[in-house]
Structure 1
Amino acid sequence: MNLKYRGKTKDVYELENGHYLLKFKDDVTGEDGVFDPGANTVGLQIAGAGRAGLKLTKHFFEVLQEQEIPTHYVDARLDEAEMIVKPAVVFGDGLEVICRYKATGSFMKRYGKYAVEGQDLGGFVEVTLKDDERQDPPISADALDVLGILSLTEYAQLKALTKQIGDVVKEELLNREIELYDIKLEFGKTETGEIMLIDEISGGNMRAYKDGVYIEPLELERLMNEA
């Protein structure tokens, strides 16, 4: 395997057949030892977080696969915390797309003058640039188009896919009486230009609550796999 990239929560290797291997780590994003899916730094390590994240990711990607929603998922090896994926071309140096159902986290930090914690946002979609130096700034559809990162047509497709995927995850969580507040997704393009979901869907990139109480990533995996 050829190491291509060391990420905050995953390392990426290129395989001989052209696919890629994602090695999930126990590192999670946050600040001052507190987990935060919207943070752009590693805040702490949680033993077993990598495997738990992959287990949830495998579940959600296979649900999306059944609904013929395009993703980069090929296969997963839970014991090794590894996932095999198709190659993808990212937009610019990478975008993060957040689907927000309830106001919390960075949304409240930016818009707390007008928003109330837990306020219903109806699946509001926002895009931020992956740019640690500038604290992952939010960016509009017009700015993405002007800068040549994403066309307006591609933005419309990205937004529709985000809401579709977010609603699938939201419904899956509701089956366990868990409420999704927000979820952070990443997208890329196939060699033929089709937009597809990449990266992961786990407790590490969403905020979920049960009976009004926030659920930590490992606890979310446990609750989702209860009989």
Structure 2
Amino acid sequence: MEKISEGKTKEVFSLDNEHVLLRFKDSVTAGDGAKADIIDGKGILNAQTSALLFRLLERDGIETHYVGMKDERTMIVKRLAMIPVEVVLRNYATGSIVKRLPIKEGEAFNPPIVEFFLKDDARHDPLLNYHHMRHLKLMNEEEARLVEEVMVRVNQTLSKVISKMGLILYDFKLEFGRVNGRLVVGDEISLDSMRVRDPTGRILDKDLYRKGYPLDQVKASYVEFLDRLRSVA
């Protein structure tokens, strides 16, 4: 099959006029790709986690690109015209927001904060507002507000299931694409794109890798999360 594109952690192959295959690699990266390693089996874990979470979103009436699984690490998804914007919803403060703003680690946001970032490693994913996105022809203000509404709905679904797992959803990142004029959730939903803690503050997500924990500990956390998710989904 023809490879359409390849990113740091996934490959995209053409399937037919309406669908593509999204193959998850075993790569793990941080710092806009400056740090990179291989964790055997990570692609399978992220594909399986994403598939389960996409199904939960679809069940709650949120349209995603997910169609099904070709194999354990490859999803069949709708062919989208992806928008190079990363949309982040924050329930609790951690990561870049505590470096950019006078906000303390762990502060709760009620209501949650939604932020837009240009997907551009060379510029370190700069923050965007409605005006930037309109000028860059990424999305207009009406679309951006619709995306914010979808992010809130996704947050309700994810927070509910993660709470059932005995865990806390700090934040998550989604990407969107267009199909037949509609904005649809694409890419993935995994521990590469979420921050999840247990009630003691123990980290279960890719922050373990960012902070330099051993690769086997990172993988064990991804396995634990998927096992817990399967038990409640």
Q: Does TM, scored on the shorter chain, surpass 0.5?
A: yes
Indicate which of 206, 219, 224 corresponds to 2:224: 219
* Mapped contact 2:177–2:183 kept (Cα < 8 A): yes
Indicate which of 69, 72, 75 corresponds to 2:68: 75
Cα deviations across residues 168-215 of structure 1 (Å, max 9, x unaligned)? 11111001111000101000111x211110011111110100122111
> 1:99 aligned to 2:89?
yes
The equivalent of 1:193 in structure 2 is: 181
Indicate which of 99, 102, 107 corresponds to 1:109: 99
Unaligned runs of 5+ in 2: 205-220
- Whichever residue aligns with residue 87 of structure 1, its letter is R
- CA shift for structure 1 position 95: 0.7
The equivalent of 2:48 in structure 1 is: 55
TM-score, normalised to structure 2's length?
Answer: 0.86
SS at 1:214 equivalent: coil
Indicate which of 146, 157, 162 corresponds to 1:168: 157
- Whichever residue aligns with residue 159 of structure 2, its letter is K
Cα deviations across residues 137-165 of structure 1 (Å, max 9, x unaligned)? 01011221133221010011011111111
Unaligned runs of 5+ in 1: 32-38
* Mapped contact 1:108–1:117 kept (Cα < 8 A): yes
* Mapped contact 1:203–1:218 kept (Cα < 8 A): no
Change in Cα spacing, 1:130 to 1:40, as seen in structure 2 (3 Å) is farther
Instruction: State how far apart, in whole Å, the 2-side matches of 1:106 and 1:62 are.
Output: 29
- Whichever residue aligns with residue 16 of structure 2, its letter is E
Indicate which of 181, 206, 212 corresponds to 2:170: 181
The equivalent of 1:85 in structure 2 is: 77
> Number of residues paired by the alignment?
214
- CA shift for structure 1 position 41: 4.7
* Mapped contact 2:60–2:157 kept (Cα < 8 A): no
Change in Cα spacing, 1:99 to 1:40, as seen in structure 2 (3 Å) is farther
- Whichever residue aligns with residue 52 of structure 2, its letter is H
Q: Percent identity?
A: 32
SS at 1:162 equivalent: helix
* Mapped contact 1:101–1:182 kept (Cα < 8 A): yes
Instruction: State how far apart, in whole Å, the 1-side matches of 2:98 and 2:71 are.
Output: 35
Instruction: State how far apart, in whole Å, the 2-side matches of 1:179 and 1:157 are.
Output: 25
TM-score, normalised to structure 1's length?
Answer: 0.89
- CA shift for structure 1 position 78: 4.5
SS at 1:63 equivalent: helix
User: After TM superposition, what 4+ stretches of structure 1 lie above 3 angstroms from structure 2?
Assistant: 39-42
Instruction: State how far apart, in whole Å, the 2-side matches of 1:26 and 1:42 are.
Output: 14
> 1:156 aligned to 2:156?
no
The 10-residue stretch of structure 1 (212-221 or 120-129) with the greater mean CA deviation from structure 2:
212-221
- CA shift for structure 1 position 49: 1.2
- CA shift for structure 1 position 20: 0.3
